[in-house]
């Protein structure tokens, strides 16, 4: 006679199943039948619903998105038949009761990113030659609008990072070249520089020449950032400039440089280069990592981390990875 599983084993099994369901939902390829089965699985046992809420809470902390409501199966029944662009909008809208955001996307920062002129996907880098001869390299997960007009050459960076090698105005009108983010503007002064937009600020690194920073809500004078310097600004002001950290530009070489970086920060950075879900236990978040990691081979990065740290890596279907503490 087979012994009934203990409460601890049932909870562990439920947790693993919940992770698999979460990965399926976030893959964007869940069918109506799969979503119905998820609904039934959650109702089948209290451990199931408890595990589902826990993995959702963990994912919300990492992604900053809204929870998937209990009634999510209904609005998602036709998710598989929608276009990829529509599916992206649905995911940005939180997969739940805020689906109306999809059609007013141009009024929101995430929506502007989806609708931008140029976008790079997960693990994709792209280099552009602009009409004036300037060249722009986009990091993975970036979104850029290009607005060249009679008075200025404007690049609107909505997400991610770019490196720009400016050229003289080919139109012969000496129009200034500026990069705008939600926090303000960066004006090029004949230069090579990089801009990364983050949730709370914008980071600028200058390799050659110089730039001027103009926070959007500051009445002060623009801040000059010279060659081999970097600075951070938000709408209210500028921090820096100070000496250039070459590691901040490692993405242009498809690398990530870590120096005693928290493992959670490194894994969060990897997400834009790795398709699917990358989740981890809070117990390992504070482990420290140093090294140079290839962003175009994230499997190799995970293997190296597993060899160097007391962690274990579990692949949850083909869409997701779960990282936890190594037993013992």
Mean pLDDT score, 82-101: 41
Per-residue pLDDT of 22-44, as tens digits, reads 767 665 566 667 777 888 888 88
pLDDT > 90 fraction of the chain, expressed in percent and rounded: 50
pLDDT digits (tens, 9 = 90+) for 262-305: 999 999 999 999 988 888 988 999 999 999 999 999 999 999 99
Confidence of residue 58 (pLDDT cuts 50, 70, 90): low
Q: What local confidence, expressed as pLDDT, does residue 5 receive?
A: 54
Q: Which of 67-71, 146-150, 186-190, 281-285 has the lowest mean pLDDT?
A: 67-71
Q: Is the peptide bond before 284 cis (omega within 30 degrees of 0)?
A: no
pLDDT band at 84 (very low <50, low <70, confident <90, very high): very low
pTM score: 0.70
Helix axes 46-63, 7-26, angle to 10 degrees: 50
pLDDT of residue 111: 53
* pLDDT over threshold 80, residue 257: yes
pLDDT mean over 231-236: 95
Name the more confident of 128 and 102: 128
Q: Residue 187, exposed/middle/buried by CB under 10 A (0-12, 13-18, 19+)?
A: middle
Banded model confidence at residue 59, pLDDT cuts 50, 70, 90: low
Percentage of the chain lying above the pLDDT 70 cut: 76
Counted residue by residue, the chain has a size of 328
Tokens 């404007």 map to which residue? 154
**191, 211 contact by CB (below 8 A):** yes
- Going along the chain from its start, the domains and CATH numbers come out as 7-111 (no CATH), 118-249 (2.60.120.1440), 254-325 (3.55.50.30)
Mean pLDDT of the chain: 80
Residues 167-174, mean pLDDT to the nearest whole number: 80
Region 104-111 average pLDDT? 49
List, for residues 308-319, the tens digit of each pLDDT value: 999 999 887 777
What does residue 25 show for φ and ψ, rounded to 5 degrees? Answer: -65, -45
Residue 184: per-residue pLDDT: 96
Place of tokens 């990072």: 161
Which of 16, 15, 39, 35 lies closest to 25, judged by CA?
35
Is the pLDDT confidence value at 116 over 50? yes
Name the pairing type of β-strands 118-119 and 143-148: antiparallel
pLDDT higher for 177 or 328? Answer: 177
CB neighbour list of residue 156: distance below 8 Å, 6 or more residues apart: 112, 116, 144, 145, 147, 179, 180, 181
Q: What is the pLDDT of residue 276?
A: 84
| Residues 296 and 273: beta-carbon distance below 8 Å | yes
Q: Which tokens sit at 65?
A: 């998105």
Per residue in 143-156, pLDDT (tens digit) is 999 999 888 999 99
pLDDT at residue 101 greater than cutoff 90:
no
């Amino acid at each position: 006679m087979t012994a009934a599983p203990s409460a601890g084993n049932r909870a562990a099994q439920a947790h693993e199943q919940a992770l698999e369901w979460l990965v399926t939902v976030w893959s964007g390829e869940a069918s109506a039948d799969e979503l119905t089965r998820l609904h039934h699985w959650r109702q089948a046992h209290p451990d199931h619903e408890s595990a589902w809420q826990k993995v959702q809470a963990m994912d919300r902390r990492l992604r900053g998105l809204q929870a998937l409501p209990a009634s999510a199966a209904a609005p998602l029944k036709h998710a598989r038949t929608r276009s990829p662009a529509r599916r992206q909008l649905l995911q940005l809208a939180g997969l739940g009761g805020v689906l109306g955001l999809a059609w007013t996307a141009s009024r929101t920062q995430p929506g502007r990113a989806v609708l931008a002129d140029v976008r790079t996907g997960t693990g994709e880098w792209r280099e552009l030659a602009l009409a004036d001869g300037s060249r722009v390299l986009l990091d993975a997960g970036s979104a850029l609008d290009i607005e060249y007009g009679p008075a200025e050459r404007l690049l609107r960076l909505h997400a991610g990072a770019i490196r720009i090698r400016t050229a003289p105005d080919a139109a012969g009108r000496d129009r200034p070249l500026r990069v705008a983010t939600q926090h303000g503007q960066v004006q090029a002064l004949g230069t090579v520089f990089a801009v990364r937009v983050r949730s709370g600020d914008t980071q600028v690194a200058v390799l050659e020449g110089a730039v001027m920073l103009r926070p959007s809500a500051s009445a002060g004078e623009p801040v000059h950032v010279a060659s081999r310097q970097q600075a951070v600004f938000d709408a209210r002001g500028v921090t820096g400039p100070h000496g250039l950290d070459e590691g901040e530009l490692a993405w242009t070489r498809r690398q990530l440089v870590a120096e005693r970086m928290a493992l959670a920060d490194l894994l969060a950075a990897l997400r834009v280069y790795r398709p699917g879900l990358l989740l981890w236990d809070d117990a390992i978040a504070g482990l420290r990592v140093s090294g140079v990691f290839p962003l175009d081979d994230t499997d190799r990065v995970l293997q190296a981390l597993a060899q160097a740290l007391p962690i274990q890596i579990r692949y949850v279907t083909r869409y997701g990875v779960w990282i936890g503490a190594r037993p013992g």
